[in-house]
Copies of this chain bind each other. A is one copy, B any other.
Amino acid sequence: MSAPRASSPPRAIESPAELRQRIAQARRDGKVIGLVPTMGALHEGHLSLVGAARRECGFVVATIFVNPMQFGPDEDFTRYPRTLDADLRLLAGRGADVVFAPATESMFRPGHATYVDVGGVANCWEGQYRPGHFRGVATIVLKLFNFVQPDRAYFGRKDYQQSLVVRRMVEDLDLPIHVEVCPTVREADGLALSSRNRYLSADERRRALAISKSLRLAKQLVERGTRDAATIITRMQGMLAAADLNIDYIALVEPESLDSVAVLDRPTVAAIAARVGKTRLIDNELIG
């Protein structure tokens, strides 16, 4: 009997060629291929995606790649948390069959010049506050889709607009991939899990709670009969301002088009982006 080696995490595949080989074998074995693309710094939100993939697919590929193309020049690319060994242990614990963690150079070769632009749903919200962000997301997701050629791919609902952008890209480009969007995972007090929560000081952590609280407030207002979007947004603004958060946007929108809703007489997504100190957080809920 060999002793457990707690200090040596499972290995990540760095080589695209090796990844393709492993996947080709799984496909020859008739397995359904599931893909969970991540930027690492994993939390229970990511792991719930792996869990869903594990339940539904015979072969689960998780990827870890901090994609420089989706960060703006003034954003947190360099300080984004990188926790590869811990990530590999967590992924193995949830039963990922393969973890692909390529070097930046093997994903973007010199002279890379091809980009995917998803219009429509990509233009507002994050598209407005993070120019180029969704171009970077769509391009890397398409590259990973082409590497892995999964049958199913898993994304978190916390990044609601991103999930719409990916779904739209898959539909518009005729990719034979089922995109599954899984529920947001929250702390006991309601804060949505995010790799960027690691940036928060204790004080910021307390104040950040106003984001999920204001989404719950919106939901309660609708349940109690308020239908006017402007009224709801004003109440949310008040709650976020009281916690000293800087609001990028508060939006009440139609779930598929992201068109603004003036009267909440139908299912509506409420979405927020706000800065707590230097940390920018997003969250959303289906209300009404």
A272–B258 alpha-carbon span in the complex (Å): 46
When each residue 107-138 of chain A gets 1 if its CB lies under 8 Å from chain B and 0 otherwise, what string results?
Answer: 00101111111111110000000000000001
Question: A208: shortest Cβ distance to chain B, in Å?
Answer: 33
| A54-62, A139-147, A151-159: which lies at the interface | A139-147
Number of copies: 2
A114–B149 alpha-carbon span in the complex (Å): 19
Question: A37: shortest Cβ distance to chain B, in Å?
Answer: 13
The answer on a CB contact under 8 Å between B116 and A172 is no
The answer on a CB contact under 8 Å between A114 and B116 is yes
The answer on a CB contact under 8 Å between B118 and A117 is no
Any B CB within 8 A of the CB of A255 = no
Any B CB within 8 A of the CB of A168 = yes
The answer on a CB contact under 8 Å between A111 and B120 is yes
**Residue on B nearest A146 in the bound complex, by CB:** B174
Partner of A118, one of B114, B120, B122, B138: B114
Any B CB within 8 A of the CB of A169 = yes
Question: A229: shortest Cβ distance to chain B, in Å?
Answer: 24
Any B CB within 8 A of the CB of A81 = no
